[in-house]
Amino acid sequence: MSFIVRPAGPGDAADICALLNAVDVAEIGRPETDLAAVEADLNHPDVDLATDSWLAFQGGRLLAYALVWADSGPGRVDCDHYVLPGHPGAAAALLDRMAVRARAMGGGAGRSVLRLQLNVRPTLDLALLTARGYRTVRRYQVMTRALERAADLPPAPPEGLTLRHCATDEADRRRAHALVEETFAAHFGHVDRAYEPWLDHLDARDLDWSLVWIASLAGHGDAAVLLTRDDRTSMGWVSHIGVRKELRGRGVGGFLLRHGFATYAARGRETVGLGVDVHNETGALGLYEAHGMRLHYAVDTWELALHPQG
């Protein structure tokens, strides 16, 4: 049976969420996509759904969904691609549309790339990617840890360290952003963003800033940032732990991680998760493993070189 392709619209969010959760079940064994996250993607300020999104249907059933956006600066376009198992035709149709649109979006920037993140065991046939010139460039792990209210108590801070949340002071929110930019500057794929675009990128307009903290060390000023969010159904989420380079190795990162554990245990969460680049030179993977975090699933970043259209 043939399929039809059309752009997505805001009213498709529930069907897209159901598709993504079906892919979650196939790839990681349980659904973990929230409707609010899908709605945020469909309302991203840098996305024109008419040109940047596609849905593939067969007999009224949604088989595949794709989205492209370019908020990372010249030379890079990002995308999502989800397909139910066993539908290579729909998968290929959306891959080809993504590439055409991405070339139009990034083709004037010299060497441009299209980046796609996929589970290491995806529902997508990887031969469809390699045949089109995609290659893997990075691997990330999503790690989780079980929480217990009685066991995960607030940790004692390193000597001279104080912690403040960012719920009441706009200046502290901007300082948290500056610390994220500084401490993640050398990370693969990091994009420098001013404060307002950073909020858009994080979909942080409704972020609970009481769950974002700045750590200060006596004699050194603001030393680190911990940005977490409690807007996922399946788990609490540690979005960023960043320690200034010259202050690493003093136990600040481990303290912030344990502080996050204690906070979410006290909120009644049973699980906390985060994502980490396995090649992170700061030793973050080892830190997380040392504090009981374990692999939930892994994600590969695939990259397609885009050539300017003639």
| 248-297 per-position pLDDT tens digit | 999 999 999 999 999 999 999 999 999 999 988 778 999 999 999 999 99
Residue 307 has pLDDT above 80, yes or no: no
Give phi and psi for 162, each to the nearest 5: -125, 155
Beta strands in the chain (DSSP E): 4-6, 53-58, 61-69, 76-83, 112-119, 135-146, 161-165, 212-217, 221-229, 236-243, 271-277, 294-306
pLDDT confidence band for 186 (50 / 70 / 90): confident
Residue in the block written with tokens 């104080």: 162
Total residue count of the chain as it appears in this document: 310
- For residue 102, is it left (φ>0), alpha (ψ between -120 and 50) or beta? alpha
115: which strand partners? 78, 303
Give SS3 for 240. strand
The CB density around residue 156, as the number of other CB atoms within 10 Å, is: 9
- The pLDDT tens digits for 11-63 are 999 999 999 999 999 999 999 999 999 999 999 888 999 999 999 999 999 99
Residue 120 has pLDDT above 70, yes or no: yes
Mean pLDDT on 61-71:
95
pLDDT at position 205 is: 66
What is the C-alpha to C-alpha distance for residues 226 and 91, in angstroms, rounded to an integer? 38
Whether pTM exceeds 0.85:
yes
